[in-house]
Amino acid sequence: MEKVESLAQELEGSMEGVLNSLLDVESKLLDILKKHNLTSRGILERFEDEDISIQKFISNIGGYVALTFRGEQIPDTVSGLGQGFYIHNDFTLPACYVDAAEAMELADELPAYVEFFKETLQDLIVESKRVLENSTKSLRGIKEL
């Protein structure tokens, strides 16, 4: 039984490392979005991939942005894996944390998501330049009136 206990302890330590890695990536992605004022829902929707997205959660006392996997958030402790909670203790806003299997799956899919994130930023740059060009043409047209 001691060997089983030792293995379980090792697995817990490994899962803690996975969570810390996921939280570090989440923090960096969210910092980029916040620093450049890209946290409106319309923009965040662009960062939705098949399973991974960045979502805004709002309650009656405030809001926050989080990386999600199939709509579930990343807990900051191993004991939070698979647990349910209420956003800001608002009983009308139930949410869940990923479980251990989902955390490992997310960790496997995260490198592809980071590439998707970069491509989405590039697409937004192209789109914003196009919109700027159209706005400039419109202003020139108004000046000619």
Under 8 Å between Cβ of 140 and 59: no
Least confidently predicted of 22-31, 39-48, 100-109:
39-48
What is the chain's mean pLDDT, rounded? Answer: 94
pLDDT of 27-41, one tens digit each? 999 999 999 999 998
Q: What is the Cα–Cα distance from 83 to 137, expressed in whole angstroms?
A: 53
- Determine how many CB atoms are found less than 10 A away from the CB of residue 126: 9
DSSP codes joined into one string, 19-88: HHHHHHHHHHHHHHHHHTT--SHHHHGGG--SSEEEEEEEETTEEEEEEEETTEEPPSSGGGTT-EEEGG
pLDDT of 9-25, one tens digit each? 988 999 999 999 999 99
- Determine how many CB atoms are found less than 10 A away from the CB of residue 75: 20
Least confidently predicted of 6-10, 76-80, 139-143:
139-143
Helix H or strand E encompassing 94: strand 94-96
Query: Taking the complete model, does pTM exceed 0.85, yes or no?
Result: yes
Residue 20: exposure state from Cβ atoms within 10 A (0-12, 13-18, ≥19): exposed
70: alpha, beta or left? (left if phi > 0; alpha if psi -120 to 50): left
> In total, how many domains does the chain have?
1
pLDDT tier for residue 53 given thresholds of 50, 70 and 90? very high
The arithmetic mean of pLDDT across residues 81-96, rounded, is 94
Q: Which domain holds residue 79?
A: 2-143
